[in-house]
Amino acid sequence: GIQVEQSPPDLILQEGANSTLRCNFSDSVNNLQWFHQNPWGQLINLFYIPSGTKQNGRLSATTVATERYSLLYISSSQTTDSGVYFCAVAQGGSEKLVFGKGTKLTVNP
Amino acid sequence: NAGVTQTPKFQVLKTGQSMTLQCAQDMNHEYMSWYRQDPGMGLRLIHYSVGAGITDQGEVPNGYNVSRSTTEDFPLRLLSAAPSQTSVYFCASMRTENSPLHFGNGTRLTVT
């Protein structure tokens, strides 16, 4: 099956810093999503982005499907951005979303 | 809309007991799924459904059963609980295979 690798596994920032999280996948996909799991365990959908670029406030994401990677950018990070960020992908014709192991982000005040 | 609702939030079972984790969504989504989350393992797909009456297996289906008698509900049954099933379980739904996935708040299950 398709493999999903996220990097880095852990990231520690000071408030106000910018960061880039990466998601690599092993095969072509027609579905790619980014999620944030907050410290209370809730999973929030950030982006549905099988290709192209999207922005939502301080967060933006870019997927280059032909090169099999996606990037999540967080600008001017805040302590509330702390948590684990997951990338999930599905191949064409499949409803099975496969998750990476996540990037744990800690933003210190 | 309440979104995706899971019950219970917490559950403790003894080995060999059975139980059902409930999941309901009020967004008229066709696709529903169950994931388990274990430390260092990310989220792994247990079972999923693309519509009422249709279910299929994910990566880790053994020890779990599902059914989808209505669009709204997708219960997960543990037939004979084992300590290896100690985990956090998430139910999720999406409108179609190419739309955002929405999660419930999870059920933390401990099997002793």
Q: What is the pLDDT of residues A49-105, one digit of tens each?
A: 999 999 999 999 999 999 999 999 999 999 999 999 999 999 877 788 999 999 999
Per-residue pLDDT tens for A31-45? 999 999 999 999 999
Q: Check whether B1 has a pLDDT greater than 90.
A: no
- Indicate left, alpha or beta for A52 from its phi (over 0: left) and psi (-120 to 50: alpha): left
Q: How far apart are the first and last CA of chain B?
A: 36
- Higher pLDDT, residue A1 or B31: B31
How confident is the model over A22-27, as a mean pLDDT?
97
pLDDT of residue B98: 85
- Using pLDDT thresholds of 50, 70 and 90, give the confidence band for residue A48: very high
Contact A45 B31 (CB under 8 A): no
pLDDT(B43) > 90: yes
Mean pLDDT, range A3-18, rounded to an integer: 97
pLDDT at A62: 98
Contact B101 A45 (CB under 8 A): yes
**Residue A41 has which token pair?**
């365990």
Tokens 């990566």 sit at which residue?
Answer: B59
Contact B82, B64 (CB under 8 A): no
Residues in A whose CB is inside 8 Å of some CB of B read: 1, 30-31, 33, 35, 41-45, 48, 50, 86, 88, 90, 94-102
- CA–CA–CA angle B94, B60, A8 (5° rounding): 75
CB-CB neighbors (< 8 A) of B97 in chain A: 31, 90, 94-95
Residue B86: the pLDDT is 98
The answer to whether the Cβ–Cβ distance between A96 and B48 falls below 8 Å is yes
φ and ψ at residue A34, rounded to 5 degrees: -115, 140
Alpha-carbon gap, residue B72 to B27, rounded angstroms: 8
DSSP string, chain A: ---EEEE-SEEEEETT--EEEEEEESS--SEEEEEEE-TT--EEEEEE-SSEEEEETTEEEEEEGGGTEEEEEE-S--GGG-EEEEEEEE-TT----EE---EEEEEE-
List CB contacts of A66: < 8 A, sequence separation 6 or more: none
pLDDT for the residue numbered A32? 96
> Is the model's pLDDT at B39 over the cut of 90?
no
Which pLDDT band holds residue A1 (cuts at 50, 70, 90)?
confident
**CA pair distance B40, B5, nearest whole angstrom:** 25
